[in-house]
């Protein structure tokens, strides 16, 4: 299985357009050791030919252009076989509206994520220009299924969604009741080799379901939004704690690093890293702590072969 990190930052990206926090200022001015990052998305492929995107970030066009295997091979064409959505947050879905140039596209999502994106959304009509422009394929938590190529044939990969702690996107709060299908983690398995990728880019707490999803994988991507729960408050950047935003922090006694200390997974990477996270600085003590525990901080363009 081939894996390419298209984008590794949380919503807003790094730097974020309206953010003057020390990280965002430092990366703009090049006064800190850190690399800019676009918003989270990962591409996976069994054969290197047909690719599946995990989430569709607002920077999707730039991410496709930066990775030649995603370029068209004919006058109108895309190697992208489908997009898989893990939740309805705009940093995961906005890119879909950029794929509006009359290309048929398949989207895997839970029923609640599909409804959240399509209902009451006049912009969605741009993906309904002709019959069959979008084919929705339903993710039912706990039910493994083949990841299908655009032709409908099996790709050699299977996918299973797992309900993990999360919440509806901010723009749907108060409109929709929250439920277990709001936010899923993914297990993607290559049938031929048995290799497994676990993908959990938004996780509100480390539950049994989260552990089960990550355990034994050849590669794990986990929510690395915040280092500490009060990061936005301390920085004068917001009034929400990490848990109110359904993100478990990385650091501290209750953080994911400590809670997953014994995790058996060959490769462990943090993704969806918010621009305020000190772990983004290559020379920070927080980065060193994560690396000592066997974790890496994903960066745009990183490629893995499982």
Instruction: List contacts with ligand MLT (CB under 6 A).
Output: 10-11, 89-91, 170, 202, 245
Dist CA 101 CA 129 (whole Å): 9
Tokens representing 138 are 């339903």
Which span sits near Mn ion by CB under 5 A: 6-14, 42-50, 51-59, 183-191? Answer: 6-14
Which span sits near Mn ion by CB under 5 A: 10-18, 96-104, 183-191, 234-242? Answer: 10-18
- Whether 70 contacts 50, CB under 8 Å: no
Could you say which of Mn ion, Zn ion, ligand MLT, none residue 245 binds, taking C-beta under 5 to 8 angstroms by partner kind?
ligand MLT
- Whether 282 contacts 17, CB under 8 Å: no
Q: Which of 3, 9, 11, 156 binds Mn ion (CB under 5 A)?
A: 11
Dist CA 57 CA 11 (whole Å): 9
**300 sits near Mn ion (criterion: CB under 5 A):** no
**89 sits near Mn ion (criterion: CB under 5 A):** yes
C-alpha distances in Å from residue 49, one per residue of 42, 169, 257: 15, 33, 35
Which span sits near Mn ion by CB under 5 A: 5-13, 25-33, 167-175, 184-192? Answer: 5-13
- Cα 144 from chain centroid? 19
CB of 12 to Zn ion, least distance (A): 7
Closer residue to ligand MLT, CB minimum distance, 89 or 231 = 89
Dist CA 86 CA 100 (whole Å): 20
- Gyration radius (Cα) of the chain, Å: 18
CB of 243 to ligand MLT, least distance (A): 11
CB of 102 to ligand MLT, least distance (A): 28
Q: Given the structure tokens 């009741």, which residue do they identify? A: 177
Could you say which of Mn ion, Zn ion, ligand MLT, none residue 275 binds, taking C-beta under 5 to 8 angstroms by partner kind?
Zn ion
Q: Given the structure tokens 């898989």, which residue do they identify? A: 84
Interface residues toward Zn ion, by CB under 5 A: 19, 21, 24, 275
């Amino acid at each position: 299985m081939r894996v390419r990190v298209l984008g590794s930052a949380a919503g807003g990206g790094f730097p974020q357009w309206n953010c003057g926090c020390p990280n965002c200022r430092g990366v703009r001015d090049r006064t800190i050791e850190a690399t800019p990052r676009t918003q989270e998305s990962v591409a996976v492929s069994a054969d290197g030919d047909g690719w599946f995107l995990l989430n569709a970030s607002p920077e999707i066009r730039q991410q496709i252009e930066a990775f030649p295997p995603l370029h068209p091979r004919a006058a109108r064409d895309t190697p992208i076989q489908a997009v898989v959505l893990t939740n309805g947050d705009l940093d995961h879905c906005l890119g879909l509206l950029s794929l509006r140039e009359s290309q048929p596209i398949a989207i895997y999502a839970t029923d609640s994520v599909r409804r959240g994106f399509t209902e009451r959304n006049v912009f969605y009509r741009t993906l309904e220009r002709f019959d069959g422009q979008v084919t929705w394929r339903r993710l039912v938590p706990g039910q493994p299924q083949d990841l299908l190529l655009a032709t409908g044939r099996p790709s050699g990969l299977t996918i299973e969604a797992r309900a993990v702690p999360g919440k509806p996107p901010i723009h749907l709060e108060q409109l929709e009741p929250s439920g277990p299908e709001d936010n899923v983690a993914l297990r993607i398995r290559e049938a031929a080799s048995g290799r497994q990728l676990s993908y959990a880019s938004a996780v509100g707490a480390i539950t049994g379901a989260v552990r089960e999803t990550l355990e034994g994988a050849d590669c794990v991507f986990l929510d690395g939004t915040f280092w500490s729960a009060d990061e936005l408050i301390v920085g004068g950047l917001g009034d929400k704690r990490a848990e109110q935003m359904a993100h478990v922090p990385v650091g501290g006694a209750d953080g994911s690093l400590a809670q997953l200390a014994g995790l058996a997974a060959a490769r462990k990477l943090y993704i969806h890293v918010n621009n305020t996270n000190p772990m983004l600085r290559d020379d920070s003590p927080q980065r060193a702590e994560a690396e000592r525990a066997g974790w890496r901080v994903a960066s745009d363009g990183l490629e893995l072969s499982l």
